[in-house]
Amino acid sequence: MAKVIEGLYYSESHEYVKVEGEYGYIGITDYAQNALGNVVYVDMPDVDDEIEAGGEFGAVESVKAASDLNAPVSGKVVEVNGKLEDTPELINQDAYGNWIIKVELADASELESLMDAKAYEEFCNK
């Protein structure tokens, strides 16, 4: 069973958002990294890019497949996780400890359309 953490928001495309004030840290879930296998590359947007909820903002490539990253919320990219450029496998080691981008949230009410930990766990078990 994949690890699910309380207090995060989850999308059906297996991204999570960790909210701190007006910022959201976006990454892929443990379930997603498990399904992908060994991550070999993370394609990230640039700082100051605008992302839109439901839109693509990058991709994660593994030895098995490539998977688009879909934004769970809208906002402006204020930081990318530079560590992933050289060591993308950090996502496999700790998906929740290694976020992909940090965004300034455009509309906090978008979080209401995402799943909490319990709902996400049920979603993954279907």
Rounded mean pLDDT of the chain?
97
Whether the predicted pLDDT of 68 surpasses 90 = yes
Output DSSP code: residue 115: B
Reply yes or no on whether the pLDDT at 2 is more than 90.
Answer: no
Question: Looking at residue 120, what is its pLDDT?
Answer: 98
* Per-residue pLDDT at 18: 98
* Per-residue model confidence (pLDDT) at position 1: 67
Give the E-state strand segments of 1-126 in sequence order.
9-10, 15-20, 23-28, 39-43, 50-51, 56-62, 66-70, 75-80, 101-105
Q: Is the pLDDT of residue 125 over 80?
A: yes
Q: What does the pLDDT read at residue 85? A: 96
Task: Convert the pLDDT of each residue in 37-67 to its tens digit.
Answer: 999 999 999 999 999 999 999 999 999 999 9
42 near 98, Cβ under 8 Å?
no
Residue 7 region by backbone torsions, left for phi larger than 0, else alpha for psi between -120 and 50, else beta: left
| pLDDT tens, position by position, 78-108 | 999 999 999 999 999 999 999 999 999 999 9
